[in-house]
A = this chain, B = another copy of it.
């Protein structure tokens, strides 16, 4: 059991509707020591890749991306969510539908900060059906860059997002893959990882 799985068992809260609350340590209050450990774990899994940039999406991906960038010594770019259809300037744009909030967001990255020369590690906090991630992949592809890998903190293994991304040949690593959770007992089962 890695640092994140152990912390989810200790402080994660399972809510009705397959909701896993990790906001006491990951995405509202953030335990910096835990994030540093997660950064090291992601580094161990992707260190053989020629990564020169981390791409994430605001807001809760930013801290994890920072922790990873501390290990790789590369810049972080965070995609911005916009409600606006008036995207100004030279930007890559992808439309993303949130599983949690059922709304559509336009995800935007300035063309200045991603190019065909970039070898990108995409980082995000959650992967469920994978819409946000698909938007980030689309943006790297629009730039002509290379997705070297995808690092996720918590994957909901009982939803299709991770499988689809792996089927497409991407190197996807999730620190914790939740196979099942039960809000009546609070019990969480993780997928075994090598």
- Which residues of A come within 8 Å of B, CB atoms? 23-24, 28-33, 35-36, 58-59, 62-63, 66-67, 69-70, 73-78, 80, 109-110, 112-113
Given contacts A24-B113, A112-B24, contact A32 B62 (CB under 8 A): no
Taking CB as reference atom, which chain B residue is nearest A101? Answer: B84
- Chain B residues contacting A67 (CB-CB under 8 Å) are 66
Cα distance A29–B109 when bound, in Å? 9
- Chain B residues contacting A35 (CB-CB under 8 Å) are 66
Cα distance A129–B70 when bound, in Å? 33
- Chain B residues contacting A113 (CB-CB under 8 Å) are 23-24, 28-29
Q: A29-B77, A36-B70 are in contact. List 6 more A-B contacts (CB 8 A).
A: A23-B113, A28-B113, A29-B75, A29-B113, A62-B62, A62-B66
